[in-house]
Structure 1
Amino acid sequence: MTDANPIEIRSREATYRGLRDARGDRFLGIRYAEAPVGQRRFKPPEPVEHQGLVDATRYGFAPPQARRPMPAWAPKGEGFETEEDCLNLNLYTPAADNGRRPVIVHAFGGGFQSGAAQGGWLDEPGFARRGDVVLVRPNMRVGALGFLHLADAFGAEYAAANRGMLDFIAALRWVRENIAAFGGDPDNVTLVGMSSGAFTISALFGVDGVADLYRRVWLMSGPASRIIDRDTAAALTRDFLDQTGVRPGDSGALEMLPVETILKVQEQVLATHLGERNAPGGRTFGIVLDGASLQRHPLEGLASGRFHDHAIVTGWTRDEARMWYAFGMMPTVRDRQALLSSIARFHPMDAEQQLAALEQELPGLIYTRYEEAFLSRAIYRDPAIRTLETHRTAGGRGFAYEFAWVPTFENGRLGAAHGFDEPFVFGDLERVPLAQGDEVAVRLARELSAALLTYARSGNPLLPGYEPGVAVVSFGGI
């Protein structure tokens, strides 16, 4: 960061003190809901009303999460601190004035188990200034604290399973009420997310009373599909409670459970196999169709036409599943029967036909590569297309792209893997080792970033509208 001077701006009842330097204004760690601790733990976010002077010159905490070592080729950042008191947001603007600039709200990814609104690869002030937009990045709860379904074990007081999603909505309400004072246009808000962040944004199509909080979405590897049924979520909760020793109904024990125990046990009860996590009945955290916080399946919400005036961009990477194999999280597929069993999680009645079609399209692959190709499509590409088709049928506009850029690292071993497109969409490759020295990567980042910024400004992502049966745009493909 360059040398910065304090700046104060007035919004509603409060004055916010942020920082100004040559690259613009930033306001950090703004609390948008009460701290979710004590009796508020495992409860929906409660509104907070700021008064007087609010210090927004330092980052707040990111949500509690397990910290894992990252490979040398992963994007680099400065890191972040974690605490349960994590319901805060960071705001970056070229100038806190009356500019009414487009607003981009970014939801971080991390498998519903990790992530943060700061300390990563993104140069937020640089992006906001380059695009002349206001960028908002909220922290929200993840893991069991954010998504463990407790209604069946603890009653109506804990009916809302999707606390992390509700946190995000609370942040959007803060944006709606305050962003004009920071140079943003509350009537021109674009939501952008990758992976669990995109799944969270997609879920909003199944939520009542949120349509006026945003105008359009850009979804990276997170279409409106990955929704967990209540019985599956309840079974996961039973395992979690059994391993922590908390009896159903004992809310006091739940409130006193050490956060270290929560993080340890959630790792033990979740599946690690990508297919098992994402197939129906998968043991994972995510958006639960609880009937309280999520009133209907997001695809049903789209089909109803409630969001026909909201534009959708949805993208996927060509080799989505490759990341899990590269990290060693997926075992080698030893034989054809094991491959069919993996496919049958998604297609129990026609696994043979699914594999035969894949073999005809991609002849000569080893079993593991067939599984990878199948999971990439079954979890990400195909549901993305289904999202757009549902939206189109209801009168909505949608756009699609496939990201196919492959880094030269180890002869392209990583493929065009999950998450690779996000730095390109934000046009920020400075902290992405895999892209250094690659002129093609620089060009793609320029194109995708221009698409996002034009989309945020006008609703036009510089992509052709989605049409069934027509090939989508490929970025980086040969």
Structure 2
Amino acid sequence: MNNQVVATQSGLVRGSSAQGARRWLGIPYAQAARFTAPVAAPTWADVRDATVPGPQCPQMYGNAAKRARIAQPDFSEDCLTVNIYAPDDLGEDERLPVYVWIHGGAFVAGSGNSYDGSQLARDGRIIVVTINYRVGVLGFVNLGATLKSADIPSNLGLRDQIFALTWVRTNIAAFGGDPDRVTIGGQSAGSMSVSLLLHIPAARPLFQQAIMQSGAVSLIHSQAKSEAIGRQYAAALGAGGRDLGALQALNLHALFEAQAAVGAANPGTIPASPWLDGDLVPGTLAAIQEAQAAPVPLLAGATRDEVRLFELMPGDILPTSWSALETLLRGQLGVEQAQAILATYPRTKAGRRALASDLTFVMPTRHFADRHAAHSPTWFYRFDYAHPIAGATHGLDLTLTWPMHGLRAALARGGRMTGQRAALGQRMTRHIAHFVRHGGPEEDWPAYDAAQGQVKIFNLVDRVEARPDADRWRAWAGQDVGVGLVA
């Protein structure tokens, strides 16, 4: 294989080498007009430059000043690209296992461009692929039902992810990857995407293993809720939202101002999220709970202090106050069951944070692992290493395995990079790479099942513990917390 020029089905791409890894960036895997399903990217005749990332998908996050981000030159609706990383010493006929990473960002933000896979590819000796997919109003709002229009497919962001996986299966061998040894992985909204892909029949032939970090079926909307939110978008857009043609003619700012308005009207609720459409995705939460996910090895886990990150961010992105948490639990589980759960948490700041973390990230991931372990090899972890300000917060585990940008990069810089902290990152990287290569982590991490509850605790000194926080786990038994946010 030439070190730089590779043939894809769409044309030749020229990459580069850096940090002991080859990289091909910004390769189109699809194209899509606004609010339409992805289709194959057009071919090109010349060698395409793949030395710089493609544009990020348009997105808006935060206050009015930050909403100006959608006008930046690195945002474009022509954003459906992949980035590929391989070890620099990859042999001509070598075929390595593949790790496809699905970024998080609450389904309204984020980019595969933010994750540099060079280190993981080099040290783990795997092929790493990061993808961009449509987010926010462009990817995860049910406008089709509101307009009574079959012209707008459901869950476009998920359809992008499946199209990217199809592209990987078709093209990755040219980059030194084995299309029959693909692991999908993600964190936060990316992990929730993985949990859905495990239940989507069209996606099942496209991967053989899965990694879920901090998220399962929890920030997902029911069909009814998706339609209610879609009506709010239609009201905010006025005549501009009356049909597909009008939506495609709108300025991006109008779409994202509508997203901001819907978000402001629904504090503690993500204004754009996958929904149970009964087409691509099963139509009810019960259907997901009762159906067996794809029978593949699964590595899953969460951080100890998930919601601390959201306390550092503007706005009510997730329910974190006592009143919001109590209202949500009582509305979804009933007063008696909600009280049993609430009684498990001390009425302190630490108790509130633990409840919010469990509701949103920890228990959905744990319940998913419980069900999955009944039929397929499963491993579970908890990340306890604490940042001096944010604790063991959401996404901090990523900073030790991926070079990061933005807020998480700032978190990564917090505290001194001691030898112990660096060694923790190396251990986590080894476990991930070992799982991608062999279908399981290294031997010092026992398999998980619902009865024994063996959990790997990552910290400066790792340990294995049976059912950590057992009282909280018992309180949530039989209560699949996804219902709390799906309604």
TM-score, normalized by length of structure 1?
0.84
CA–CA distance in 2 between the matches of 1:320 and 1:42? 33
1:401 is matched with which residue? 381
How far off is 1:129 after superposition?
A: 1.6
Report the CA distance between 1:349 and its aligned residue: 2.6
- 1:11-69 deviations in whole A, cap 9, x for unaligned? 446322222457232211111112x3xxx211111123535334123321101112559
Tell me if structure 1 keeps the 8 A contact 2:10–2:41.
no
2:216 match: 223
Q: Which amino acid letter does the alignment assign opposite residue 12 of structure 2?
A: T
Aligned pair partner of 2:153 in 142, 160, 163: 160
Query: CA shift at 1:127, angstroms?
Result: 2.4
8 A Cα contact 2:399 2:409, kept in partner: no
Match of 1:25 in 2: 22
Which residue among 424, 441, 444 is the counterpart of 1:461? Answer: 441
CA distance in 1, matches of 2:230, 2:449: 41
SS of match in other structure, 1:319: coil
In the alignment, is the contact (CA less than 8 A) between 2:120 and 2:433 conserved in 1? no
* Aligned match of 1:358: 345
**Higher alpha-carbon deviation: 285-294 or 337-346:** 337-346
The whole-number CA distance in structure 2 between the counterparts of 1:162 and 1:269 is 18
Offset from partner CA, 1:80-118 (integer Å, 9 cap, x none): 811111011111112574311111111111111111121
Which string of whole-angstrom CA distances, capped at 9 and with x for unpartnered residues, describes residues 179-225 of structure 1?
A: 00100110111112111111112111221222121111111111234
Tell me, yes or no, if structure 1 residue 66 matches structure 2 residue 64: no
Quote the residue 1:75 is aligned against: none
Residues 151 and 159 of structure 1 are in contact (CA less than 8 Å); yes or no, is this contact kept in structure 2?
A: yes
Choose the corresponding residue for 2:392, options 413, 416, 439.
416
Q: 1:243 aligns with which of 219, 236, 239?
A: 236
CA contact 1:159–1:292 (8 Å) conserved in 2: no
| Residue 425 (structure 1) shift | 3.9
Give the secondary structure class of the aligned counterpart of 2:448: coil
Give the secondary-structure state (helix, strand or coil) at the position aligned to 2:16: strand
Whether 1:340 aligns to 2:316 is no
Alignment of 1:34-433 (within 5 A): 34=31, 36=32, 40-48=33-41, 50=43, 52-55=45-48, 56-66=50-60, 81-95=74-88, 97-118=92-113, 120=114, 122-158=115-151, 160-246=153-239, 249-270=242-263, 276-277=268-269, 284-296=271-283, 300=287, 303-305=290-292, 307-308=294-295, 310-327=296-313, 329=315, 340-350=326-336, 351-359=338-346, 365-366=347-348, 368-393=349-374, 395-408=375-388, 413-426=389-402, 432-433=412-413
Q: CA deviation at 1:348?
A: 3.0
Deviations 1:228-252 (A, max 9, x none): 1111011111111111113664222
Structure 2 unmatched runs, 5+: 64-71, 462-487
Alpha carbons of structure 1 residues 415 and 13: separation in structure 2 relative to 1, 3 Å: closer
Decide whether aligned partners of structure 1 residues 339 and 126 sit closer, same or farther in structure 2, where only a CA change above 3 A counts: closer
Identity among equivalent positions (%) equals: 28
Q: Which residue number corresponds to residue 72 of structure 1? A: none
Structure 1 residues 371-418: Cα deviation after superposition (integer angstroms, max 9, x where no partner): 32111111111111211122223x11211111111122xxxx312111
**Structure 1 portions without partners, runs of 5+:** 70-78, 278-282, 360-364
Closer/same/farther in 2, CA of residues 234 and 156 from structure 1, 3 Å limit = same
Distance in 2 (alpha carbons) for counterparts of 1:264 and 1:174: 33
CA contact (8 A) 1:153 1:248 kept: no
Q: Which position in structure 2 is the counterpart of 1:73?
A: none
Aligned residues: 440
- Amino acid aligned to 1:391: H
**2:335 alignment partner, SS class:** coil
Q: 1:286 to 1:341 in 2, by over 3 A?
A: same
Q: CA deviation at 1:159?
A: 5.0
Distance 1:166 1:261, change over 3 A: same
The 3-state SS of whatever aligns with 2:362 is helix
Distance, in Å, in 2 between the alignment partners of 1:263 and 1:247 is 13
Contact kept in structure 1, 2:210 and 2:297, CA below 8 Å:
yes
SS in 1 for 2:428: helix
Measure, in 1, the Cα distance between the counterparts of 2:316 and 2:351.
13
Please say which of residues 287-296 and 226-235 is displaced more in the overlay. 287-296
Three-state SS of the structure 1 residue aligned to 2:46 is: strand
SS at structure 2 position matched to 1:290 = coil
SS at match of 1:209: helix
Q: Distance in 1 between matches of 2:36 and 2:360?
A: 30
* 1:362 paired residue number: none
Deviation at 1:296, TM superposition (A): 4.8
Q: Quick one: distance in 2 between partners of 1:272 and 1:222?
A: 25
Helix, strand or coil: the match of 1:84? coil
Q: Which amino acid aligns with 1:476?
A: N
Q: Is the 8 A contact 1:202 1:298 kept in 2?
A: no
Cα contact 1:16–1:54 (8 A) shared by 2:
yes
Secondary structure at 1:16 match in 2: strand
**Candidates 1, 5, 18, aligned match of 1:8:** 5
One-letter amino acid of the structure 1 residue matched with residue 450 of structure 2: P
Structure 1 contact 28–59 (Cα < 8 Å) conserved: yes
2:243 counterpart letter in structure 1: D
2:469 corresponds in structure 1 to none
> CA 1:271 to 1:378, structure 2 compared with 1: closer, same or farther past 3 Å?
farther
Contact 1:316–1:401 (CA under 8 A) maintained in structure 2: yes
* One-letter code aligned to 1:160: P
CA contact (8 A) 1:320 1:376 kept: yes
Distance between the aligned counterparts of 1:312 and 1:335, measured in 2?
32
- Aligned partner of 2:13: which letter? Y
Which amino acid is 2:51 matched to?
A: T
Go from structure 1 to structure 2 and tell me whether the alpha carbon gap of 1:383 and 1:6 turns closer, same or farther (over 3 Å shift). Answer: closer
